[in-house]
Amino acid sequence: MKHTNSKKLLSDQITEQELQVILRELARTYDVSGDVVEFGCYVGTTSVYLARELQGSGKQLYLYDSFEGLPEKRPEDSSPAGEQFKAGELHATKKKLIRNLKQANVPMPNITKGWFSDVEPRQVPQQISFAFLDGDYYDSVIDPLRLIWDRLSPGAIVVVDDYANEALPGAAKAVDDWLKTHHAHLSVEASLAILRT
């Protein structure tokens, strides 16, 4: 694993500790067949590290974002601790993301602009080895889970941000609801849920 430096993180959307966990779990899937997806890439804070780690691996990185910020909340997302999260918050342009990826000098990922609920199966890789879900809200976690689940290779890992974040309770509710009907081993580290299939 290459060294990360929190001073160089592009935003405060991820901590150095979380990033280390994400990259550690990614490394565990190098021998798993398939590509890597990130739903909720914002300005690319995590994406630049994913892209750097995947360089030369033969795996393609796919990024998805509305580039319009967060959608409206549903009741599951409401929390007194999370009132700052509103529709349109965390808005980044695709142009800004591309600029950050170019500045990081990493291979350009495949980028899809759109709401996760509108992403079509043909826009998602056929086989997935690792997924990072960072959409913050209930629908923004469960919609990607619906898109990717049947495409996860044996041994694939899914990391969901904000599982242990009282400001964004929808993320944990989505994971817990999903696991009522789908099998995976769940562990929690920092604010991250790690699902091993």
Ligand X SMILES: C[S@@+](CC[C@H](N)C(=O)[O-])C[C@H]1O[C@@H](n2cnc3c(N)ncnc32)[C@H](O)[C@@H]1O
Which stretch, 24-32, 35-43, 103-111, 186-194, contacts ligand X (CB under 6 A)?
Answer: 35-43
SS3 97: helix
Q: Which is nearer to ligand X, 53 or 139 (CB)?
A: 139
Min CB(48)–ligand X separation in Å: 9
For residue 185, the 8-state DSSP code is: E
At 92, which amino acid appears? A
Min CB(80)–ligand X separation in Å: 19
- One of 28, 96, 98, 115 touching ligand X (CB under 6 A): 115
| 13 interacts with ligand X by CB under 6 A | yes
Q: Which is nearer to ligand X, 88 or 107 (CB)?
A: 88
Name residues contacting ligand X, limited to 73-102 (CB under 6 A). 90, 92
- Size of site (CB under 6 A) for ligand X: 24
Name residues contacting ligand X, limited to 45-64 (CB under 6 A). 45-46
- Residue in 23, 34, 25, 21 with CA at minimum distance from that of residue 1: 23
- One of 135, 142, 174, 184 touching ligand X (CB under 6 A): 135
Min CB(154)–ligand X separation in Å: 26
Spatial distance between the Cα atoms of 187 and 196, rounded to a whole number of angstroms = 8
Spatial distance between the Cα atoms of 131 and 150, rounded to a whole number of angstroms = 13
| 116 interacts with ligand X by CB under 6 A | yes
- One of 130, 134, 158, 160 touching ligand X (CB under 6 A): 134
Q: b vs e for 70-92, b when ≥16 Cβ sit within 10 Å of the residue's Cβ?
A: bbebeebbeeeebeebeeeebeb
SS3 112: strand
| 104 interacts with ligand X by CB under 6 A | no
Spatial distance between the Cα atoms of 47 and 140, rounded to a whole number of angstroms = 18
Spatial distance between the Cα atoms of 39 and 163, rounded to a whole number of angstroms = 15
Q: Which residues bind ligand X (CB under 6 A)?
A: 11, 13-14, 40-43, 45-46, 65-66, 69-71, 90, 92, 115-116, 134-137, 139-140
